[in-house]
């Protein structure tokens, strides 16, 4: 039983260290909306979302006020739309469905709706292909819709034909939104081993193994962890790890209370707590600042990957002790544009794309919110995706790429999205060609250790 006293113990975390509930995300199954008529399909989807989530924003606001815990975002995730859009016989039909999702999100008042997605780790259906073709225009012409494509997993390998297409799709959406610093790319992510209960955007979707509706909560507190580590400066690694673990326990208990309260008030089953240390552009709310508190000069210095491994592992250990329902991507995120310390390290050259790739071997996701020169080829983008997908496949972990070719900009300049998405310096990309490699197409088979039956 979680008491209000436990939440009150975190008052300093909230007031002094930027602790917040980053998101309450309602997952909604749309499979019963399927219809062969596009008009009826769009109506069914709109009606189900707006009816299911009509009280989501108000409930989140009320809980935040009552318990004194900031609840920053209220979001929706839906069944991957490629599975719902049987009536969509053209790219234009899918775009119409995307705009339906956008209208529903605006009506409810959420800040994002995720699930404009396809799962193609072993190949594409016709519906998958049409949805993927529609993604650039769909994201360019909507405000709230987020999209993801899962192109690989440890059990199936990597669909390299899909990886090639992802590079082309990212280039297309960058061009379509070049006047907004290629904003559409910030709402799109490519996955290996995507999870079905992720409450964070842009990769959230409501998995086909999930219930009709569910409440998933994402809690974030890098500033809290940094503040806790200030009390153990100079201590050995055992004490450092124990401090992170205990802090993660307290943060998770706050999320557990909010999740169960939201579940009860909305009459929707509680799903999972995602304890992901997700930074914001605010000073004091940074993963990079945790690294400096651990003893590194800045993110990217030798030892950064080890520091991230310590952080990620002990956040998970503390979270699992605090709740039997920890899920999603729980651990530590390293988005460049959303973390002022990472931005500074990248701008100074201390943090490179190659170092970020190494860090993704031990973080919760992957290459996230990274801006690259606008003239980067589609093949090079696909090569970056392929490298990251391989890390996920071989290590049986979730990895992702959310990368932004900034059209008309080059290394030394920056993109600026404002708000939670922040800004990012344009990072240098290896200019050597991988085009012949990417053009092979086909599928990389699953690794030997995938055969566990």
Q: What is the CATH number of the domain that holds 177?
A: 3.20.70.20
pLDDT category at 1 given cuts 50, 70, 90 is very low
Predicted confidence (pLDDT) per residue in 29-68, tens digit = 999 999 889 999 999 999 999 999 999 999 999 988 887 7
Alpha-carbon distance of 58 to 133, in angstroms, equals 36
**Tokens standing for residue 339:** 């973390």
Alpha-carbon distance of 35 to 104, in angstroms, equals 18
* Phi/psi of residue 25, nearest 5 degrees: -115, 125
Q: What is the pLDDT of residue 12?
A: 54
Centre a 10 Å sphere on the Cβ of residue 179 and count the other Cβ atoms it contains. Answer: 9
Which range among 112-121, 216-225, 371-380 shows the weakest confidence by mean pLDDT? 216-225
Percent of the chain with pLDDT over 90: 55
Residue of 127, 140, 124 whose CA lies nearest to 172: 140
Q: Is the pLDDT of residue 281 over 80?
A: no
Grouping H, G, I as helix, E, B as strand and the rest as coil, residue 88 is coil
Q: Is the pLDDT of residue 9 over 70?
A: no
The secondary structure of residue 295, as a DSSP letter, is: T
CB distance 364 to 333 below 8 Å: yes
Q: How far apart are the first and last CA of the chain?
A: 38
Which are the contacts of 218, defined by CB distance < 8 A and separation ≥ 6? 21, 22, 23, 25, 199, 200, 255, 273, 274, 275, 276, 278, 328
Predicted confidence (pLDDT) per residue in 67-84, tens digit = 777 888 899 999 999 999
**Tokens standing for residue 25:** 């995300």
Domain containing residue 76:
1-453
3-state secondary structure string across 335-400: CCCCCHHHHHHHHHCCCCHHHHHHHCCCCCCCEEEEEEECCCCHHHHHHHHHHHHHHHHHHCCCEE
Q: What is the pLDDT of residue 323?
A: 76
pTM over 0.75: yes
Q: What is the pLDDT of residue 18?
A: 59
Sign of CA dihedral 40, 42, 46, 48: positive
**Tokens standing for residue 330:** 């729980």
Q: What is the pLDDT of residue 421?
A: 75
**Tokens standing for residue 72:** 């920053």
Residue 423 has, within 13 A of its CA and on its CB side, a CA count of 10
Q: Is the pLDDT of residue 221 over 90?
A: no
Tell me how many domains the chain contains: 1
CB distance 332 to 351 below 8 Å: no
Q: What is the pLDDT of residue 13?
A: 54
Residue of 143, 178, 228, 164 whose CA lies nearest to 374: 178
CB distance 162 to 131 below 8 Å: no
Angle (nearest 5°) at CA 145 between 144 and 150: 145
CB distance 169 to 136 below 8 Å: yes
Alpha-carbon distance of 73 to 329, in angstroms, equals 17
Kind and range of the H or E run holding 20 = strand 20-28
3-state secondary structure string across 125-176: CHHHHHHHHHHHHHHHCCCCEEEEEEEEECCCEEEHHHHHHHHHHHHHHHHH
CB distance 310 to 237 below 8 Å: yes
Where is pLDDT greater, at 265 or 331? Answer: 265
Alpha-carbon distance of 213 to 124, in angstroms, equals 27
Residue length of the chain: 453
């Amino acid at each position: 039983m979680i008491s209000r006293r436990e939440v009150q113990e975190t008052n300093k975390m909230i007031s002094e260290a930027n602790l917040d509930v980053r998101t309450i995300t309602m997952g909604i199954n749309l499979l019963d909306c399927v219809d062969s008529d596009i008009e009826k399909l769009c109506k069914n989807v709109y009606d189900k979302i707006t009816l299911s989530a009509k009280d989501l924003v108000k409930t989140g606001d009320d809980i935040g006020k009552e318990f004194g815990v900031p609840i920053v975002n209220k979001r929706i995730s839906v069944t991957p739309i490629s599975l719902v859009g049987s009536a969509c016989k053209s790219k234009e039909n899918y775009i119409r469905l995307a705009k339906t999702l956008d209208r529903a999100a605006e009506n409810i008042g959420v800040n994002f709706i995720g699930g404009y997605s396809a799962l193609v780790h072993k190949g594409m259906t016709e519906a998958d292909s049409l949805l993927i073709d529609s993604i650039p225009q769909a994201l360019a012409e909507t405000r709230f819709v987020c999209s993801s494509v899962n192109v690989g997993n440890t059990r199936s390998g990597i669909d390299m034909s899909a990886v090639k297409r992802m590079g082309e799709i990212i280039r297309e959406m960058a061009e379509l939104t070049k006047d907004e610093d290629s904003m559409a790319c910030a709402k799109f992510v490519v996955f290996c081993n995507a999870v079905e209960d992720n409450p964070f955007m842009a990769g959230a979707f409501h998995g086909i193994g999930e219930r009709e509706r569910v409440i998933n909560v994402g809690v974030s507190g890098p500033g809290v962890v940094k503040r806790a580590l200030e009390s153990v400066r100079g201590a050995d690694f055992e004490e450092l790890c124990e401090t992170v673990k205990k802090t993660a326990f307290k943060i998770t208990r706050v999320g557990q209370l909010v999740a169960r309260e939201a579940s009860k008030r909305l009459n929707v089953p509680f799903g999972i707590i995602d304890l992901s240390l997700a930074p914001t552009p605010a000073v004091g709310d940074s993963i990079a600042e945790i690294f400096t508190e651990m003893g590194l000069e800045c993110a990217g210095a030798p030892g950064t990957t080890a520091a991230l491994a310590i952080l990620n592992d002990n956040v998970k250990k503390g979270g699992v002790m605090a709740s039997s329902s920890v899920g999603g991507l729980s651990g530590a995120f390293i988005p460049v544009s959303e973390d002022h310390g990472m931005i500074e390290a990248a701008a100074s050259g201390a943090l490179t794309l190659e170092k970020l790739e190494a860090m993704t071997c031990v973080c919760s996701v992957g290459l996230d919110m990274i801006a690259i020169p606008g003239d980067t080829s589609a093949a090079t983008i696909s090569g970056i995706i392929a490298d990251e997908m391989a890390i996920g496949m071989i290590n049986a972990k979730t990895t992702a790429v959310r990368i932004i070719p900034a059209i008309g900009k080059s290394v030394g300049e920056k993109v600026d999205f404002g708000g939670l998405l922040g800004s990012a310096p344009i990072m240098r990309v290896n200019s050597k060609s991988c085009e012949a490699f990417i053009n092979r197409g086909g599928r990389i088979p699953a690794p030997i250790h995938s055969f566990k039956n």
